Amino acid sequence: MASFNPSTALNSKDLSGSSGEIHVFIGPMFAGKTTSLLRRIKSESNNGRNVAMIKSSKDTRYAINSVVTHDGVKFPCWALPDLTSFRQKIGEDAYQKLDVIGIDEAQFFEDLYDFCCKAADVDGKTVILAGLDGDYLRKRFGSVLDIIPLADTVTKLTARCEMCGKKAFFTFRKTAAIETEVIGGADVYMPLCRQHYMNGKAVAETPKNVIESTKVHHQTTQSSCLEAATLAL
C-alpha cells in the first residue's frame, strides 16, 4: 500500500506555488478603514504593482464608481453586486496581470470567503480588504470575520467617540430602522466608546421593553425614543 509522505506533498511545486496575501482592516464606521485601504493600494501602485479596487454597489453614498472616505479622498473602483463577477467584468487578461485587489465595504459581499481563497491561495493575488466586523447591534456583519483565519494580517481600527472623544469601538445607529443593512453616513450613524454605546442602547431599549410587554407596537413612539436616546447620550 502506498504511503503518504507529507514533506513530499508540501514541497510539491504543482500543488499551488501561490504567493498570495490577505490583509484585513476592520473596525466601526469612521475608524479610517477606507483611508487605510486607499493608502495601501496607492503605495502598492507606486511600487509598480498592478492594482484594482472593488466596492459593493450597495454603497451609493458619495460616488458610484469611486471609493470615497468620509473626508472626501477618492479612488476609482469597480462597483459590483458580488465578487464572483469581477473576473469576468475586468476580463481574463487584465485579471491575470493584476497583483493587488482592494475590496471596500467587504461586509456586503456574500461570496467574500470563496473569492479571497481563490484570489490569494490559487491565483497568487494580494487581497487588501476593509469592512465592518460588527453591525449597529455589535453582531457579526456578513462574512468579514470569516476571513480572519485566512488572513496574513488583521488590523482593528478605532474612531473617536462623538460624545467624549475617547476611542470608539462601536457604531451607534441614530434611527429606528431595524434591518441590518441601512446605507448611510453621519446622518444615520455615529462612533461611540463602550460607555456611551451602552448608555444609548439602554435608553433606546427601555421604551421598547415597555412597548413589547404591553404588546403595543407603535413606530412613532420607538422613533421618539431613539431620538431621546441620541439626545440622552
Ligand X SMILES: Cc1cn([C@H]2C[C@H](O)[C@@H](COP(=O)(O)O)O2)c(=O)[nH]c1=O
Residue 97 CB, nearest approach to ligand ADP (Å)? 28
Residues 46 and 69: their CA atoms lie apart, in Å, by: 20
Task: Answer yes or no: 105 catalytic.
Answer: yes
Task: Give the other-Cβ count within 10 Å of 199's Cβ.
Answer: 17
User: Stretches 22-30, 53-61, 82-90, 137-145: which one binds ligand ADP (CB under 6 A)?
Assistant: 22-30
Shortest Å, Cβ 154 to ligand X: 16
Which one is catalytic: 21, 44, 92, 105?
105
CA–CA separation, 138 vs 145, rounded Å? 12
Tell me: does residue 31 bind ligand ADP (CB under 6 A). yes
Residues 26 and 20: beta-carbon distance below 8 Å = no
The SS3 of residue 81 is coil
Choose the contact partner of 159 out of ligand X, ligand ADP, none; CB within 5 to 8 A by kind: ligand ADP
Q: Which of residues 159, 163, 225, 233 is near ligand ADP by CB under 6 A?
A: 159
Site for ligand ADP in 34-53 (CB under 6 A): 34-35
Which residues fall in the annotated binding site for substrate? 189
Between 133 and 162, CB nearer to ligand ADP: 162
Which of the listed partners (ligand X, ligand ADP, none) does 182 bind, with a CB threshold of 5 to 8 Å by partner kind?
A: ligand X
Q: Which residues bind ligand X (CB under 6 A)?
A: 29, 33-34, 59, 61, 132, 135-136, 171, 180-184, 189
User: In the chain, count of helices (H) and strands (E)?
Assistant: 7, 12
Residue 29 vs 147, nearer CB to ligand X: 29
Interacting positions 54-73 with ligand ADP (CB under 6 A): 69-71
In the chain, the amino acid numbered 132 is: L
Q: Which SS3 state, helix, strand or coil, does residue 88 take? A: helix
Between the alpha carbon of residue 123 and those of residues 17, 50, 151, the distances in Å are: 9, 14, 15
The answer to whether 162 contacts ligand ADP (rule: CB under 6 A) is yes
- CB nearer to ligand ADP: give 118 or 167: 167
All three cell numbers of 28, joined, read 466601526
Give Cβ neighbours of residue 77 (< 8 Å, ≥ 6 apart). Answer: 52, 53, 54, 55, 65, 66, 67, 102, 104
**Among 13-21, 94-102, 154-162, 207-215, which window interacts with ligand ADP (CB under 6 A)?**
154-162
Q: CB within 8 A of 232, min separation 6: which ones?
A: 199, 200, 203
* Residues of the shown chain interacting with ligand ADP in the complex, contacts defined by CB under 6 A: 27, 29-35, 69-71, 159-160, 162, 191
Residues taking part in catalysis: 105
